[in-house]
Amino acid sequence: MNFREIASAVYGETGYVVPDSFFGSPSPDDIQVCYLANRAAAYLREKGFQKLIKRYEITLTTAESYALPSDYLEIVPDTTMINGRIDAVNLPTTAPTWAWLKSQNSTSSYTVFARIINDELAINAPDAGEVVAFEYISNAPITDSNSETYKQRFTDDYDIWLLDDDLLILETKWRFEKAKGIDGWEVSAQESKDYRNSVMARDKSAKTIGQRTDDVLSEPYTRLWV
């Protein structure tokens, strides 16, 4: 759904008259719902929904720091690898270990050590030509009306919300009701929380509890119990 459809649903459910437009409207109510929807969108993007997970690759040179994706929010833990190798990159390397590595002026190491410093990926003693790959969560759950430009915030009535539509409707609705002093906003907030929990539970695939997990064969291959 686009922003106008989402905001219209909020207005319709709270008994407000739906305007012709929200962004650019002279009405304080219309402007306020724009701000509240953006606050709700910023809150929801932090929940790690799989729709916002992307993969990124960096080809190393002799440089020791590399730009992160323009829509970077955070790296998915334990996903940083060197393509073609089975050992993971040590990310984040602890500050004491990083300081020790830098004090040694080492030029090579089998383990690849990395940290995020000043919004860049820092690599200790990079091996030029190797490719670092990782999954990250995007900070942009919105696109423009042409689905071409990813955005962190709504700025137009026809911007498109990329996650579950009802998530944003419910999250914006209780915030709007609270701001307007509408009785029952607590009930709406609980409904939003319950729905969010349901969406988060089914958002990522999960294995059945107690199911055998033989996907990756690893040592020891022989069962050790008697």
- Residues 132-158: tens digit of each pLDDT: 999 999 999 999 999 999 999 999 999
Write out the DSSP string of 17-40: PPPS-STT-S-HHHHHHHHHHHHH
CA-closest candidate to residue 112, choices 60, 148, 149, 147:
60
The arithmetic mean of pLDDT across residues 69-73, rounded, is 95
CB-based contact 135:57 (threshold 8 Å): no
Q: How many CB atoms lie within 10 A of CB 154?
A: 25
pLDDT of residue 110: 77
Q: Which two tokens stand for residue 77?
A: 């833990």
For residue 180, the SS3 value is coil
pLDDT of residue 102: 83
Q: Which two tokens stand for residue 121?
A: 């990926």
Q: What is the pTM of this model?
A: 0.81
Separation of alpha carbons 174 and 33, rounded Å: 11
